[in-house]
Amino acid sequence: MKKIFAANWKMYKTPNEARSFFSEWQKSHFKFNSNNSEVFFFPTALSAESVSQSISGLNLNWGVQNAYFEKEGAFTGELSMNHAKEMGAAAVLVGHSERRTLFGETNSMLAKKNSWAQQTGVTPFYCIGETLEERNQEATLKVLDRQLREGLVLAKSEDALVVAYEPVWAIGTGKVAEAPQIKEAHLYIRSVLDSLGFTQSQILYGGSVKPETAAELIQIPHVDGFLVGGASLKVDSFQKIIGSI
Ligand code: PGA
């Protein structure tokens, strides 16, 4: 199975900045092996068109960071997955921890988003992960179990779906989880996914992934790629992460 390298640009990079990023990318003549790797960019919705145009011919994919679970309607300010699909989006982040904590997204809402993404033909990247408090209470596996079972209850195991494990305490903190912690979590997620029939779903690790740590982390069993925030904003550092396999 191909490794997945995904860039979560959060609320960074204007359309012009996104264009500059890809012109630098092009000038770098960077090549990755598309037989064993896939690369996704998740820009802001307003920079999506500029990303979609800029990556043409570069063998890269893009997606949106969030979208609603209805095709269309009276949902002022929301983003339609169908519109994203029409623009060429291949994927959508579902339930990133910032959506869960800052915007109140719940497992049951995310279950609808995962399902609607699949129905629209946009691959959901379903994000899960425990807080520091939950880890300290030794509740990590229980939390992951719940996020998986509740969030995937409407999803179809035969349709594409990717899971991203991102310990909340490791996101944007520079504090990457330790190898045994990642190993335990990924092994557990794999077993739950398999028991639910999602045997083909890949599991990404996210949380302060950097070029210096990527080569070691990618060797951990059941780490099928990365979801990268901060280190994906610079061409050079994200390319080094992609080059870690
Ligand atoms: P980070 O973000 O790499 O900056 O920790 C990861 C994410 O939020 O997806």
Q: Which two tokens stand for residue 109?
A: 């809402």
pLDDT (0 to 100) of residue 73 = 98
Instruction: For ligand 1, say whether the CB of 15 is within 6 Å of any of its atoms.
Output: no
pLDDT in tens, 164-220: 999 999 999 988 899 999 999 999 999 999 999 999 999 999 999 999 999 999 999
pLDDT (0 to 100) of residue 242 = 98
Among 46, 35, 52, 43, CA closest to 10: 43
Q: What are phi and psi of 119, to 5 degrees?
A: -65, -30
Position 103, amino acid: F
β-strands 203-206, 123-128 pairing: unpaired
β-strands 37-42, 123-128 pairing: unpaired
For ligand 1, the distance from its centroid to the CA atom of residue 161, given in whole angstroms, is 20
pLDDT (0 to 100) of residue 175 = 86
Instruction: For ligand 1, say whether the CB of 148 is within 6 Å of any of its atoms.
Output: no
Atom of ligand 1 nearest to the CA of 8: 9
Instruction: For ligand 1, say whether the CB of 166 is within 6 Å of any of its atoms.
Output: yes
pLDDT (0 to 100) of residue 153 = 98
Tell me the C-alpha distance between 192 and 178, whole Å. 21
The predicted model gives 135-143 an average pLDDT of 97
Q: Residue 145 above 90 pLDDT?
A: yes
- Strand-pair partners of 128: 165
Instruction: For ligand 1, say whether the CB of 208 is within 6 Å of any of its atoms.
Output: yes
Q: Whose CA is nearest to atom 6 of ligand 1?
A: 229
| Catalytic status, residue 166 | yes
Q: Which two tokens stand for residue 132?
A: 């520091």
Flag the least confident range among 28-32, 49-53, 158-162.
Answer: 28-32
Q: Whose CA is nearest to atom 1 of ligand 1?
A: 229
pLDDT (0 to 100) of residue 174 = 86
pLDDT in tens, 9-44: 999 999 999 999 999 999 999 999 999 999 999 999
Q: Residues 38, 96, 105, 130: which is the catalytic one?
A: 96
Q: Residue 78 above 90 pLDDT?
A: yes
Tell me the C-alpha distance between 120 and 221, whole Å. 31
pLDDT (0 to 100) of residue 6 = 98
